[in-house]
C-alpha cells in the first residue's frame, strides 16, 4: 500500500527519530544525558493531581464530553486571561479547548489552507507550522526575524499576496526573544493590510518572562487573529494534553467544524483538573520560575564551556546559543557533543535554516543533571 501524496514530502518529526536512537543507545549501556526536548520534569500543583483523582471516582464522568469543552473550563480560562492580560474573552463563543495546542496547529492549517495558498512561518521556528501547512497542501514560506520583529521587507511581495496564514510565536521558540506591544501591533497591522490570518502560538508566556503579552491586547487583533495557549509548559501538564484556541466566534466556528470530526472531547476529570490549575494563582508559577532560573544559570555555564554564545535575557525553558566559529554546522557540533560527552543538545537546523549555526539546550532536567553535564564537559 502506498502512502497518500500529502505525506510523501513530510519527514518524521525530528525528535521522534532522535529519541528512539537515544533510548536504544541508553539501553546499550551509554550514560547519555538528554537535554534536547522541552518536556517539563516538574509535577503539576498537588491540587491538580488531587482533583484528577477525586473527579475520576465520580460516577458519570467517563462518557463523551462536549466538543467545545465543559463550561467550567472555558469560564476558568476566560478569568485567567482577564487576570493575566486584562483582556475579555467570551467563554461561550471565543474560547475552544484543545487536546493540546499542537492539535490546534493542525486544525488551523486544515481549516483555512487550500492547495496553492501560502503559510508564512518563522525561521527559526517550531517545525509543526511548516509540516501542517504542507499536509494541508499549501506552500510553507519562511521569514526571518530581526530580534522579535519579522523582516516583512524580505518576504517577496508576490508571496505576501498569496499568504493565507502567518504564524508568530512569543516568547519565541527556539530563540527566547520577547515581543513588545508595539511590535505586536505592527504585526497585526501587516496582517490586516494583506488580509492574512494571524496565528499567535503562545505556550511559554509564564516561563522566565518579565511581561507576558497576548495578541488580543492589540487593538483590532480579533479581526484577523487566533491565539493558541497550552497548559503543557507553565502548568507542567505536557502529558495531560490541554490547550486552548481563542479568537472571534466566526473563526472558532470554522475550526470547530473540522475539530468535531477529529475527536470526541476531553476526559472530564482532566478538564476539571485543568480548571484547578488555572485557579492555583501565581505562587506556584513563581516557584516553578525559581527552579528554571537556577537551571538557566547552569545552562548558560554549559554553553560557555562549549564556547557557545547565548543571550542571557531569553525567556522560556531553553537556552539558544550560537556555536563556535570553528564548526560549520550545528548538526555536526551536536553529534560531537553527543559522542564525546554523552550529552544530547538539539541542533538548531531542526527549526529551520536560520538555526544552522545554533544549538538549543532544554532546561527540563533537574539541577543535578545539569551539574553533571557541566562537570563532564569541563573534565573531558
> For the domain 61-278, what is the CATH code?
3.40.640.10
Spatial distance between the Cα atoms of 89 and 362, rounded to a whole number of angstroms: 33
Could you tell me which of 275, 199, 265, 194 has the C-alpha nearest to residue 235? 275
pLDDT digits (tens, 9 = 90+) for 46-100: 999 999 999 999 999 999 999 999 999 999 999 999 999 999 999 999 999 999 9
Secondary structure element (H or E) that encloses residue 268, with its range: helix 268-278
Report the pLDDT value the prediction gives residue 2, as an integer from 0 to 100.
Answer: 82
Q: Would you place residue 210 in the very low, low, confident or very high pLDDT band (cuts 50, 70, 90)?
A: confident
Q: Are 148 and 178 in contact (CB under 8 A)?
A: yes
Higher pLDDT pick, 281 / 356: 356
Average pLDDT, the chain: 94
pLDDT digits (tens, 9 = 90+) for 316-351: 999 999 999 999 999 999 999 999 999 999 999 999
Report the pLDDT value the prediction gives residue 16, as an integer from 0 to 100.
Answer: 83
Spatial distance between the Cα atoms of 52 and 43, rounded to a whole number of angstroms: 13
What SS3 class is residue 285?
Answer: helix
Q: What's phi and psi for 197, nearest 5 deg?
A: -75, 115
Report the pLDDT value the prediction gives residue 304, as an integer from 0 to 100.
Answer: 97
Query: Any residues with CB less than 8 A from the CB of 252 and at least 6 apart, and which?
Result: 93, 94, 95, 96, 226, 245, 246
Task: Please give the grid coordinates belonging to residue 341.
Answer: 560527552
Q: Would you place residue 129 in the very low, low, confident or very high pLDDT band (cuts 50, 70, 90)?
A: very high
What SS3 class is residue 54?
Answer: helix
Report the pLDDT value the prediction gives residue 211, as an integer from 0 to 100.
Answer: 85
Is pLDDT above 90 for 37?
no
Report the pLDDT value the prediction gives residue 158, as an integer from 0 to 100.
Answer: 93
Strands (E), the chain: 33-34, 95-98, 118-122, 139-143, 145-146, 149-150, 163-169, 197-201, 225-230, 243-247, 309-310, 318-322, 343-344, 346-347, 358-362
pLDDT digits (tens, 9 = 90+) for 69-84: 999 999 999 999 999 9
Percent of the chain with pLDDT strictly greater than 70: 100
Q: Can you name the CATH fold of 5-43+283-379?
A: 3.90.1150
Could you tell me which of 109, 376, 99 has the C-alpha nearest to residue 264? 99
Could you tell me which of 366, 380, 378, 290 has the C-alpha nearest to residue 35? 366
Is pLDDT above 90 for 104?
yes
- Where along the chain do its domains lie? 5-43+283-379, 61-278
Report the pLDDT value the prediction gives residue 14, as an integer from 0 to 100.
Answer: 80
Is pLDDT above 90 for 3?
no
Report the pLDDT value the prediction gives residue 282, as an integer from 0 to 100.
Answer: 87
Q: What is the mean pLDDT of residues 210-225?
A: 90
Nearest-10 Cα torsion for 194, 195, 196, 197: 160
Q: Would you place residue 307 in the very low, low, confident or very high pLDDT band (cuts 50, 70, 90)?
A: very high
Global pTM value: 0.94
Higher pLDDT pick, 16 / 152: 152
Could you tell me which of 375, 217, 281 has the C-alpha nearest to residue 80? 281
Q: What are all long-range contacts of 280-287, with beta carbons under 8 Å and residues at least 24 apart?
A: 280/45, 280/47, 280/48, 284/45, 285/206, 285/234
Is pLDDT above 80 for 12?
no
Amino acid at each position: 500500500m502506498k502512502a497518500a501524496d500529502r505525506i510523501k514530502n513530510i519527514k518524521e518529526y525530528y525528535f521522534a527519530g532522535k529519541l528512539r536512537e537515544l533510548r536504544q543507545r541508553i539501553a546499550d549501556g551509554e550514560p547519555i544525558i538528554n537535554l534536547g526536548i522541552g518536556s517539563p520534569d516538574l509535577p503539576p500543583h498537588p491540587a491538580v493531581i488531587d482533583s484528577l483523582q477525586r473527579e475520576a471516582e465520580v460516577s458519570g464522568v467517563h462518557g463523551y464530553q462536549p466538543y467545545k469543552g465543559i463550561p467550567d473550563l472555558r469560564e476558568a480560562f476566560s478569568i485567567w486571561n482577564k487576570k493575566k492580560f486584562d483582556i475579555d474573552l467570551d467563554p461561550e463563543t471565543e474560547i475552544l479547548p484543545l487536546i493540546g495546542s499542537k492539535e490546534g496547529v493542525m486544525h488551523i492549517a486544515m481549516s483555512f489552507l487550500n492547495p496553492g495558498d501560502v503559510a508564512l512561518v518563522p525561521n527559526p521556528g517550531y517545525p509543526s507550522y511548516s509540516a501542517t501547512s504542507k499536509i494541508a497542501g499549501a506552500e510553507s514560506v519562511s521569514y526571518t526575524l530581526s530580534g522579535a520583529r519579522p523582516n516583512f521587507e524580505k518576504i517577496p511581495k508576490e508571496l505576501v499576496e498569496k499568504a493565507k496564514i502567518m504564524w508568530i510565536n512569543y516568547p519565541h521558540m527556539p530563540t527566547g526573544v520577547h515581543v513588545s506591544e508595539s511590535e505586536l501591533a505592527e504585526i497585526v497591522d501587516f496582517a490586516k493590510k494583506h488580509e492574512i490570518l494571524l496565528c499567535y502560538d503562545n505556550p511559554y508566556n509564564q516561563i522566565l518572562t518579565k511581561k507576558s503579552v497576548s495578541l488580543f491586547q492589540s487593538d483590532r487583533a480579533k479581526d484577523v487573529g487566533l491565539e493558541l495557549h497550552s497548559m503543557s509548559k507553565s502548568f507542567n501538564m505536557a502529558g495531560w494534553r490541554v490547550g486552548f484556541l481563542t479568537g472571534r466566534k466566526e473563526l472558532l466556528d470554522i475550526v470547530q467544524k473540522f475539530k468535531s470530526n477529529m475527536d470526541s472531547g476531553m476526559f472530564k476529570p482532566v478538564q476539571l483538573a485543568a480548571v484547578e490549575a488555572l485557579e492555583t494563582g501565581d505562587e506556584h508559577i513563581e516557584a516553578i520560575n525559581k527552579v528554571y532560573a537556577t537551571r538557566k544559570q547552569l545552562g548558560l555555564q554549559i554553553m560557555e564551556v562549549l564556547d557557545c554564545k547565548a543571550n542571557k535575557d531569553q525567556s522560556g525553558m531553553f537556552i539558544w546559543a550560537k556555536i563556535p566559529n570553528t564548526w560549520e554546522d550545528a548538526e555536526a557540533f551536536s553529534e560531537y557533543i553527543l559522542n564525546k560527552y554523552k550529552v544530547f543538545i538539539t541542533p538548531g537546523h531542526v527549526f529551520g535554516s536560520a538555526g544552522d549555526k545554533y544549538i538549543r539546550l532544554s532546561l527540563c532536567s533537574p539541577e543535578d543533571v545539569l551539574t553533571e553535564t557541566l562537570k563532564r564537559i569541563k573534565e573531558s
